[in-house]
Amino acid sequence: MCGIVGLVSDSEISIKEDLLKSLKRLEYRGYDSVGCADTKGNVEKDVGEISKFMEQIKDSKASCAISHTRWATHGGVTKTNSHPHWDCKKKLFIVHNGIIDNYQEIKNELIDKDHVFVTQTDSEVISHFLEEELKSKNMVEAIKSFIKRIHGTYAILIIEKDNNTIYAIKKDSPLVLGLAKDRFYLASDIYAFSDATNKAIFFEDEEFAIVDSNKYNFYDSDGKEIKKEIYEFAWDLYQEESVQNYPHYMIKEIHEQPTASQRLINSLDGEQNAKIKNIAELIKNSKSVVFTAAGSSYYASLLGIYFLNRIGINAQTLIASEFHNFMLVDKDTLFIAISQSGETMDVVSATKWAKERGAKIVSIVNVPHSTLQRMSDISLEIHAGPEICVAATKTFTNQVVALLYLSSLLGFTVNMQTIPGKIDYVIKENEDIVRDIADGLCDKKDIYILGRGLCYPPSREIALKLKEISYIHAEGMMGGELKHGTIALIEEGTPVIALIPGKDYDMYSNAKEVEARGAKIITMANMMDSDFKIDVTINDGKFAILSVIIGQLLTYYIALKKNLPIDKPRNLAKSVTVK
């Protein structure tokens, strides 16, 4: 989940203006701590965010340097545990994204050989392992030994003092080489350097590279040199990095949803039309259709299942981390993976598992050229653009828009062209109302969100947002399950949000049941009345999108009232690249 960036140039670059500004573009991957090292032997690191770190350190120059922004797994959030790590002689420096599974075994062996460890991390074994191997081998042979001996996931950058070369190794965690005019970038994803170049080379598992200021060479795990394809990408075409006049990226990205959804619909009508029609044909002709995803993407997949099942297509979905335990796939299965980043480890692992069993692979992603996209037979891009806030807003909406469009090709009735306008209307008409409601909810410890059918997945997604950003215990649940336990938790003043599309009398009854037990009812509805009605104004597949957008606004304004770190909530990262 961490972010790593390395730079090699034919002239000296600014650590602050070049290296750390590139790293900041990856801060969504983790922001517990930050650090950098160069081949002059200079090391700086500390806990906290990159902006604060950049203010604290003096700028320096080097022609070769590496950097890291951390999401802690092994070892607490401390300056000592921050990356980079080094060897006993402080001549070898590494940054690492991933988890070394057998680190304790390796660490014990190295301690027996008099290596001294100073951190609690699994990553520190990398520098000491290589130090030990380099006593009798060159770097290529040492890396080959590393790949054979080390178990786990890793994207690693290595530098040596007084040697302007970066060594890079990849297994399961993402890693890419960016080819700019006067420098090479090595990074966790293309966003680190997409403002500087649109040319990239993607590492595959158990590959490593040696990169200096003039050239790069790639090798397989046996040390045999391999040729790699250069990709040209267009990620910057709609890039909007600046928060502009908004106080937070989250509210900015909520307000971008009319534009983002229109951009996707235009793409599906245009350059991606043949692709999505091909996916529709695969669904029609497959004996089994299964989805997998995680987090918000999973709730989007639940809506996809609802749309398809309503038109008689048997489809299923399952959380990616448990996919191999509860789902069967074979050569007759169409496997559809959904992921914002295309790098979510559980989704990538489930996709590999399905691919090994002969399934046809389709992916729906936001980040082009991601691992998931490169594994797929067909990949659809949702064109939401870069999303800086950890919480999924416009990416969730565009995932659902893509699934609605796909379902419409197969017979689900929906007017796609009205979606952007409806989103715009719902935001403008309800934002002030939602802000007022948020004022009354910011001190609540529990909120329940009820939904049935079309509105069950949105209830889960709204609850997730309230947990992630507002730090409120929230449960999204099926209205029909209310009486099977949860109603015992309802007491005077407990907030319950009821999602009621059209004349859903069963859902209305569920709301009245908890109201009778003292709950404070808030309805998102377009026909039913209540004392706290929020008007969603639509009664088809779009209701799912619009109700979630209101939930996004509610989450934002509760968190704003509580003065919480909205764009960077505690303990979370946007791209979950560890299991």
Instruction: For residues 410 and 434, state if they share a domain.
Output: no
Instruction: For residues 372 and 477, state if they share a domain.
Output: no
Q: Letter for the amino acid at 319?
A: I
pLDDT higher than threshold 60 for residue 50: yes
Instruction: For residues 196 and 333, state if they share a domain.
Output: no
Strand (E) or helix (H) holding 50: helix 50-56
Mean pLDDT calculated for residue range 86-107: 96
Cα(68)–Cα(19) distance, integer angstroms: 10
Q: Is 240 helix (H, G, I), strand (E, B) or coil?
A: coil
Give the domain-ending residue among 180, 208, 233: 233
Query: Which one of 2, 64, 389, 455 is the catalytic residue?
Result: 2
Q: How confident is the model at residue 223 (pLDDT cuts 50, 70, 90)?
A: very high
Residue 181 lies in a domain: yes
pLDDT higher than threshold 60 for residue 432: yes
Please tell me the number of Cα atoms within 13 Å of 156 on its side-chain side. 31
Residue 572 lies in a domain: no
Residue 420 lies in a domain: no
Domain of 150?
3-233
Top pLDDT among 367 and 146 is at 146
Instruction: For residues 526 and 399, state if they share a domain.
Output: no
Instruction: For residues 369 and 444, state if they share a domain.
Output: no
Instruction: For residues 298 and 407, state if they share a domain.
Output: yes
Give the domain-ending residue among 214, 233, 252: 233
Instruction: For residues 250 and 208, state if they share a domain.
Output: no
Query: Which one of 24, 170, 252, 574 is the catalytic residue?
Result: 574
Instruction: For residues 212 and 248, state if they share a domain.
Output: no
Residue 216 lies in a domain: yes
Residue 36 lies in a domain: yes
Residue 422 lies in a domain: no
Active-site residue flag, 21: no
CATH number at residue 382: 3.40.50.10490
Cα(45)–Cα(77) distance, integer angstroms: 12
pLDDT higher than threshold 70 for residue 72: yes
CATH number at residue 164: 3.60.20.10
Cα(48)–Cα(172) distance, integer angstroms: 27
Mean pLDDT calculated for residue range 339-362: 95
Give the domain-ending residue among 355, 382, 414: 414
Report the number of distinct structural domains present in the chain.
3
Residue 425 lies in a domain: no
What does pLDDT average to over the chain? 92
Q: How confident is the model at residue 536 (pLDDT cuts 50, 70, 90)?
A: very low
Q: How confident is the model at residue 33 (pLDDT cuts 50, 70, 90)?
A: very high
Taking the mean position of all CA atoms in its chain, how far away is CA 197? 23
pLDDT higher than threshold 50 for residue 537: no
Instruction: For residues 183 and 253, state if they share a domain.
Output: no
Residue 577 lies in a domain: no
Instruction: For residues 247 and 224, state if they share a domain.
Output: no
pLDDT for position 528: 54
Q: How confident is the model at residue 36 (pLDDT cuts 50, 70, 90)?
A: very high
Contact at 8 Å (CB) between 224 and 192? no
pLDDT for position 481: 83
Instruction: For residues 37 and 168, state if they share a domain.
Output: yes
Instruction: For residues 289 and 353, state if they share a domain.
Output: yes
Q: How confident is the model at residue 308 (pLDDT cuts 50, 70, 90)?
A: very high
Mean pLDDT calculated for residue range 453-462: 95
Active-site residue flag, 455: no
